[in-house]
Every structure is written in C-alpha cells, then in structure tokens.
C-alpha cells in the first residue's frame, strides 16, 4: 500500500546496531532469491504495476475487509477466458507458464483467497488441500512484504531444512510440483523481518499485507460464486 502509514520504506535500517540485532533475536537474514525448491518460481524484479496494485488493494479493503475481524475472503469464478484487470496482468507473466492456470481452453473454475495480515500476524505452515485444487498456485503480495517459510513435509519438525524467501510487496510467487505438494509454506508471526545475508542485512518492518492466492479447482469441486472476475 502506498499510504503515508506504510512502514515498508521507513523501516529500513542501513546498518543494524547491536540492539537491533538483539531485537530480532534468532532470526536469520532472508534473501529475495528463491531457495532451491523444485517448482518454486520467483523473480524479485517482476513487480505488479504500482497503479494496479493500489487499485486492487483499495478495492479489496473497501469491499471485503470493511468489518473488524474479517481477515480472509474466498472468491470463486467459473472457467472462463475472461481475464480482467489483475488476471490479465498475471496471464502475461513468464512465471505463469509453469502452472496450468491459464489453459488454452479453460475448463476449470478458479478460486482466489484473500488474506489480510496485520504486523505480527502470519499463517501456519500448510500444504494446500490436495483433493480440492489442481497443481500450480499463484500468490501476490500487496501492501507489505513478508518472509515466507518452506519446510519439507516429511521433515516438518526439522528447522535445519527450513528455507525462506523474502517477498517484497507487489511481487508474485508460483508454487507447483514439489513446492506445492512436498513442502509446506507458511508465514511466521513477526512484526519485522531480517533481509539480506549474514554480513549485510537490514530490518524491514511489516505493514498491513494483503495476499491474493489464485488456485484452480479440480473438476469434482463445485463453484460457489462468480466473483473472482472482479479482481
Ligand atoms: O499470504 C500468503 O501469501 C499465503 C497464503 C496461503 O498460503 C493460503 O491462503 O493458503
């Protein structure tokens, strides 16, 4: 969000002081280079145009998150060639060729989950419902950055195998294959993230983050509404 209250820019500390480091405790700096997980596609330089990002964020806040306590909305859309606004942008991004999200002849309904996170909030590591969604999800970060964490399903308790990726606002991530099914993804509840490498890093304050995650539904799943086209 490009609001005067956004903490994204003001939160950058050029060189963290020892007390900054104490504040972030045991966090490890995270880079915005995708960790080597098969099926994870991320290009940090690929940004949603600012105007489109602001427009979508404003629309969602006004129409979907206009009551206290609401932090998740699900939208559904029937199989269609129609790709308005946001979907039109996504459709033309090279990353999307790694998912069957835009087949030549659309036959599957689509779903968008909108999640709103305030600083300090996150999402428990999970694998998406296997029986409901097809492979290949597309996620967008709007309004604020965050660090997404990935853990191999069969080693879910082993922090050594934890991989992390810094998702700046307006970036897009694609999870397919192993990244979608053999790894959990989640966001730790934090108000700050440590970004960079072990020698050069900065502290980034989290602001209010809206994520939009697009999935497509398997044939057996019913379509519950048609609203996804409003994005
Ligand atoms: O906020 C995000 O980027 C992730 C959302 C997510 O994993 C979900 O809704 O299942």
* Residue bearing the CA closest to ligand 1, atom 6: 213
Sequence-ordered list of residues with C-beta below 8 angstroms from that of 55, at least 6 positions apart, any chain = 85
Q: Of 18-32, 116-130, 168-182, give the lowest mean pLDDT range.
A: 18-32
Q: How confident is residue 79, by pLDDT bands cut at 50, 70 and 90?
A: low
Q: What is the mean pLDDT of the chain?
A: 81
Q: Is the pLDDT of residue 22 over 50?
A: no
* Site residues for ligand 1, CB cut-off 6 Å: 113, 115, 123, 128, 139, 185, 187, 211, 213
How many angstroms separate the CA atoms of 208 and 180, rounded?
25
Residue 13 has pLDDT above 60, yes or no: no
Contact call for residues 202 and 14 (beta carbons, < 8 A): yes
Atom of ligand 1 nearest to the CA of 186: 7
Distance (Å, whole) CA 217 – CA 209 = 25
Residue 24 banded pLDDT, cuts 50, 70, 90: very low
| Average confidence (pLDDT) over 116-140 | 90
Closest atom, ligand 1, to C-alpha of 72: 9
> How far apart are the CA of 172 and the centre of ligand 1, in A?
12
126: its two tokens: 């999970």
CA distance 129 to 181: 9
CB-based burial, 132-159: b 16+ in 10 Å, e otherwise: ebbbbbbbbbbbbbbbbbbbeeeeeeee
> Can you tell me the mean pLDDT for 65-84?
83
Domains of the chain are 18-230 (2.60.120.1520)
Q: What is the pLDDT of residues 188-225, one digit of tens each?
A: 999 999 999 888 999 999 999 999 999 888 875 555 55
Least confident residue range of 52-56, 153-157, 198-202: 153-157
In this predicted structure, what is the pLDDT of residue 110?
Answer: 82
Name every residue whose Cβ is closer than 8 Å to that of residue 114 and which is 6 or more positions away in sequence.
60, 64, 65, 72, 73, 74, 75, 210, 211, 212
DSSP H or E segment with residue 138: strand 137-142
Contacts with 23 (C-beta within 8 Å, 6 or more apart), sequence order: 192, 203
Q: What is the pLDDT of residue 87?
A: 84
C-alpha 135 chain-centroid distance: 16
Cβ–Cβ < 8 Å for 76, 110: yes
* CA-closest residue to ligand 1 atom 1: 211
Tell me the CA–centroid distance for residue 216 and ligand 1, in Å: 15
**C-alpha closest to that of 186 among 195, 177, 201, 175:** 175
d(CA 80, CA 83): 8
Check residues 215 and 186 and name the one with the higher pLDDT: 186
- Ligand 1, atom 9: nearest CA belongs to which residue? 113
How confident is residue 21, by pLDDT bands cut at 50, 70 and 90? very low
What residues does 183 pair with on adjacent strands?
A: 152
- As a whole number, mean pLDDT of residues 116-126 equals 97
Edge-to-edge strands of the sheet including 72-77?
40-42, 172-175, 137-142, 209-216, 110-117, 72-77
Atom of ligand 1 nearest to the CA of 128: 10
């Amino acid at each position: 969000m490009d609001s005067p209250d956004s903490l994204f820019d003001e939160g950058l500390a050029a060189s963290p002081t020892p007390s900054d480091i104490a504040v972030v405790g045991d966090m490890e700096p995270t880079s915005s280079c995708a960790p080597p997980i098969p099926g994870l596609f991320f290009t940090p330089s690929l940004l949603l145009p600012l105007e489109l990002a602001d427009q979508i964020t404003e629309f969602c806040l006004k129409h979907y998150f206009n009551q206290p306590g609401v932090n998740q909305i699900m939208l559904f859309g029937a199989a269609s060639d129609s790709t308005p606004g946001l979907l039109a942008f996504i459709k033309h991004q090279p990353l999307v060729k790694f998912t069957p999200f835009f087949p030549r002849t659309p036959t599957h309904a689509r779903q968008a989950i909108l999640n709103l996170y305030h600083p300090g909030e996150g999402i428990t590591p999970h694998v998406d419902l296997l029986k409901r969604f097809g492979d290949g999800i597309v996620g967008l970060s709007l309004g604020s950055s965050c660090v997404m964490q990935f853990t191999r399903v069969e080693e879910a308790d082993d922090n050594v195998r934890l991989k992390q990726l810094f998702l700046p606002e307006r970036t897009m991530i694609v999870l397919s294959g192993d990244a979608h099914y053999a790894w959990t993804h989640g966001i730790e509840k934090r108000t700050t993230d440590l970004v960079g490498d072990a020698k050069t890093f900065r502290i980034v304050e989290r602001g209010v983050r809206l994520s939009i995650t697009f999935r497509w539904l398997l044939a057996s799943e019913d379509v519950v509404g048609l609203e996804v086209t409003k994005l």
